Structure 1
Amino acid sequence: MMYGYAWDLTTPLTYAASILPILLIGLTVTLQAAAAGFALALVLGLAFALLRRSRIKAVALTTAFVVEFLRDTPLLVQLFFLYYVLPDYGITLPAFLTGVIALGLQYSAYTSEVYRGGIEAIPRGQWEAATALNMTRWQTYRDIVIPQMVPRIVPTMGNYLVAMLKETPVLSVVTVLEMLGLANMIGERTFEYLVPLSMVGIIFLLLTLICSAGIHRLEKVLPKAGIPLR
């Protein structure tokens, strides 16, 4: 895909300008993978957190084991397993989808603990009051728990979003052409690595600063007492 590009190595600035369009293509892949992976982590993490609170002991214990397994094994191992082992059993996934699933599974273990902490931070008296008012479990979560939980978990969830964004370069090992993977390919063809790798580092720095600023802004906007859902 890069043979049609002409790279000007005259000066670092002209070289950087000539490779920037390629890195921006990789940036798009990076952002897509991080967004899709984080969305998956949010959904799976909430499911894991609720299942761990199940009154059925077998369900709670099994979920706890799955969460610990995902959290205590490296992302790279999970990625290799999904991409290289599953095809032996007839399950072949596209590289990008494999990367998204690996990121989502890994970080769902972390987000589930954030959800669990947010749920358990709700005072016991409020749970008892909901029971006294004959509220269903869904009504309790919808009207009492979630509105108070969200402002409390936003900072930690934001940290995990930034961490996931910085881990997307790992996907290059399964041929996902994200930003760092493209920078390495450019370096291999031009024998000049300093400029492309430096540009990737600067872009990641800008991305994390933007994400951090957005998270801090969201923290200030959300009411501390909880958000109304209806």
Structure 2
Amino acid sequence: MNAFSWDWAYALSLLPRLARGLELTVLATLAGSLVAAALGFVWTMVRIWRLPVLSQAASGAVIFLRGTPLIVQLFFWFYVLPLAGLKLSPLTAGILALGIYYSSYMSEIYRAGLEAVPPGQWEACLVLSLPLPRVWLGVILPQIARIVTPMLATYVIVMFKESALLSTITVTEMFWQAMDAGYESFRFVEPITMAGILYWLISYPLAILFRYVERRFA
């Protein structure tokens, strides 16, 4: 059979296998997003508090993370750290690499959100002598959430698509399953195409949903 022809029976038979890989893809995306959102906020707070040494270290870490490719960081977590005695499972290494890498981008989003809060809001809280937890939870964070949520959601979609790189460290996510099926059958047209369609079927509706959320926040 011509390797460039399309076999619908073979393509449809791949769906259960790709679905198993999709479960890991979604898991890595969600877990990585949580790591990125939490760590990105930490980077931001350490930087804006201007703590001696720590603020400079956080700024340097963010610049370094954004300036190096994700695949290099993936390889560092999975192949280099074991040499120092820290061995992680492929999925754990992938989640940490995704989360820490994108935390640098989310940190900039948080910083932009904080800068968008009018100075008068901070001054009013100071005049009213509001306790710090109430200032953040009742005044500042609700305003920041309206600003940053659409941008954070965009990075979740990006992480979902970038999770295909986890296949390079043997995470059996959807792209890995597609490539493995291709190597077994020596046919790559159907596996890669079906994987691409599944990525699109999830990322495109999410993009529409997030645009709706953005309009609602606006």
Using the size of structure 2 for normalisation, the TM-score is 0.94
2: CA distance, partners of 1:56 / 1:197:
49
Match of 2:62 in 1: 67
Query: Which of 24, 27, 33 is matched with 1:32 structurally?
Result: 27
The DSSP-based 3-state class of the residue aligned with 2:53 is: helix
Q: Are 1:88 and 2:83 an aligned pair?
A: yes
Deviation at residue 54 of structure 1 after TM alignment: 1.2
Query: Which of 163, 166, 173 is matched with 1:171 structurally?
Result: 166
Residues 1:11 and 1:56: Cα distance change in structure 2 (over 3 Å): closer
2: CA distance, partners of 1:214 / 1:205:
14
Match of 2:38 in 1: 43
Which runs of no fewer than 5 residues in structure 2 stay unpaired?
Answer: none
1:211 maps to amino acid: L
Query: Which of 8, 17, 41 is matched with 2:12 structurally?
Result: 17
Match of 1:213 in 2: 208
1: CA distance, partners of 2:50 / 2:101:
25
The DSSP-based 3-state class of the residue aligned with 1:38 is: helix
The DSSP-based 3-state class of the residue aligned with 1:205 is: helix
Deviation at residue 206 of structure 1 after TM alignment: 1.1
2: CA distance, partners of 1:160 / 1:130:
32
Match of 1:150 in 2: 145
Deviation at residue 217 of structure 1 after TM alignment: 2.5
1:65 maps to amino acid: G
1:183-207 C-alpha deviation (Å, 9 max, x unpaired) = 1111111111101100111111111
The DSSP-based 3-state class of the residue aligned with 1:169 is: helix
2: CA distance, partners of 1:79 / 1:138:
37
2:33 maps to amino acid: F
Which runs of no fewer than 5 residues in structure 1 stay unpaired?
Answer: 1-9, 225-230
